[in-house]
């Protein structure tokens, strides 16, 4: 079974704090993704990575950065947390692209609250 794990299920932080969300996958997938999920807005792509040390901006990268030093680990960083970053954060991974739908395997999510 593919497993994608996220470091925390629930996190409460203060405005201005630096926040690290960690994601680890155990299926040797090249591609990893960070989304946020909000009611009425659905899943929105923040950043993705298709290789170690590679990163690409998604649809809403402002206020976030990422790090991928190892293939299995993809970190999302909120440099200075703000209340509008309160959300559910979902990490996903997918295997190499050789046709197919690009199925993504998701972690359980981290519910981040910024006070």
Partner 1 sequence: QKEVEQDPGPLSVPEGAIVSLNCTYSNSAFQYFMWYRQYSRKGPELLMYTYSSGNKEDGRFTAQVDKSSKYISLFIRDSQPSDSATYLCATSNSGGYQKVTFGIGTKLQVIP
Contact positions toward partner 1, by CB under 8 A?
4, 40-43, 45, 48, 50, 90, 92, 94, 97, 99-109
CA 76, 111, 40, 25 torsion-angle sign: positive
Minimum separation from the CB atom of position 3 to partner 1 (A): 11
Beta carbon nearer to partner 1, 31 or 75: 31
Minimum separation from the CB atom of position 110 to partner 1 (A): 10
Minimum separation from the CB atom of position 80 to partner 1 (A): 27
Beta carbon nearer to partner 1, 43 or 77: 43
Identify which of 37, 34, 74, 39 has the alpha carbon closest to the alpha carbon of residue 53. Answer: 74
Identify which of 29, 21, 63 has the alpha carbon closest to the alpha carbon of residue 49. Answer: 29
Beta carbon nearer to partner 1, 40 or 84: 40
Burial pattern 92-113, b for ≥16 Cβ within 10 A else e, equals: bbbbeeeeeeeebbbbebbebe
């Amino acid at each position: 079974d593919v497993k994608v794990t996220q470091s925390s299920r629930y996190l409460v932080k203060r405005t201005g704090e630096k926040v690290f969300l960690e994601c680890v996958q155990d299926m040797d997938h090249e591609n990893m993704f960070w989304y946020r999920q909000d009611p009425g807005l659905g899943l929105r792509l923040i950043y993705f990575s298709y290789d170690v040390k590679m990163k690409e901006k998604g649809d809403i990268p402002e206020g976030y950065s990422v790090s991928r030093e190892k293939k299995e680990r993809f970190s999302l960083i909120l440099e200075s947390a703000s209340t509008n970053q309160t959300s559910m954060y979902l990490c996903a991974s997918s295997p190499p692209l050789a046709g197919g739908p690009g199925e993504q395997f998701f972690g359980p999510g981290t519910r981040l609250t910024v006070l």
